[in-house]
Amino acid sequence: MKRIVLLVVLIAVVAGGWYAYKEYHRTNADLTGRTPDFEMSAGDLISRFEKDTVASKKYIDKVIAVDGKVKSIDKDGNPVVIALGDAGQMSSVQCSMDSTYVKDYQSIREGDALSIKGMCTGGRTEELFGTDVILNRCVLNKK
Amino acid sequence: MMKPLLIIAFVLSSLSGFCQDKYFTKTGKIEFYSKAPLEDIEAKNKTVAALLDTKSGSVQFSVLMKGFEFPKALMQEHFNENYVESNTYPKAEFKGTITNNSSVAYSKDGSYPVKVKGQLTIHGVTKDVETQGTIKTEDGKVQLVSAFNILLSDYKIKIPALVKDKLNNNIKISVDCKLEPLK
């Protein structure tokens, strides 16, 4: 009987330790395989954040797939940041790209039509800048 | 009669093209780093908005706290939920002025040491900050580089008692933003 108890305790300790180890070393999840919670155009997402900052909270910490034209791409440094939106406007969706797939971004040019999915970290509106919605850990969305 | 007016209009419009005094970026970089016995903490964010008015020397930065990426997911979750409470305080901001702005020749390529004074808001707490940095001008772009230290306790960011001796209250913040003319 004592032996069984000891064995159970041992298993529990090992399992707990293994879980703690895994949890401690867990990296941010790759979003490639994730089904997006929302799908919309860059213009739509921007206008939702422009109109109502309270209602826009439902998009924060959610995976959003966004379609749009590349307004600018910043390949200088890490990570690459791609802005989707209307070239004539200040507002944009800023996509901070997942560095794992950095090679996939090299051929992207301004004006390309793209679908990108990423974790929404929020929006910000500045007088001179328009409204920006920011997505993190973004990957190219292959449909 | 119309000719002088047209000339004046032309001269004015071409002048305004040269008088570029606002610069901005939305892909500026802020990193922070803390050395501690338990473990080093570092995170980066490359979606920083920055605006510089070269005429007045006013400068501002704004960054979303949730946009900081950590190598470890658990650390990132703790940072957002327990430390900076980013659901309640989503943004950090700095608003200030370059106190020796007149010594920077923005139209000439070069590297200039600057002093910056202003208010930094993190975790809903605003504090006066004074720091030094460098402005680099090249090909019509203006790069702002600076590094300074802050104390978490100044911004009412609490370190849980359990890890108090193992985490550093002193955090180094590095800023590197390349600004383009605001059209």
Give DSSP secondary structure letters for chain B: -HHHHHHHHHHHHHHHHH---EEEEEEEEEEEEE--SS--EEEEEEEEEEEEETTTTEEEEEEEGGG-B-SSHHHHHHIIIIIS-TTT--EEEEEEEETTGGG--TTS-EEEEEEEEEEEEETTEEEEEEEEEEEEEETTEEEEEEEEEEEGGGGTPPPPGGGTTTS-SEEEEEEEEEEEE--
Nearest by CB to residue A81, choosing from B24, B27, B182, is B27
Q: How far apart are the first and last CA of chain B?
A: 32
pLDDT at A13: 93
Rounded to an integer, the average pLDDT of A31-41 is 95
Q: Would you say residue A45 has pLDDT above 60?
A: yes
Longest dimension (CA), chain A: 77
Burial of residue B142 (number of CB atoms within 10 Å: 0-12, 13-18, 19+): buried
Q: Would you say residue B6 has pLDDT above 90?
A: no
Q: Do A128 and B51 touch (CB under 8 A)?
A: yes
Q: Would you say residue B16 has pLDDT above 60?
A: no
Q: Would you say residue B35 has pLDDT above 80?
A: yes
Q: Would you say residue B168 has pLDDT above 70?
A: yes
Q: Do B66 and A61 touch (CB under 8 A)?
A: yes
Confidence class for position B39, pLDDT limits 50, 70, 90: confident
ipTM confidence score: 0.85
pLDDT at B126: 97
Q: Would you say residue B19 has pLDDT above 60?
A: no
* Prediction pTM value: 0.86
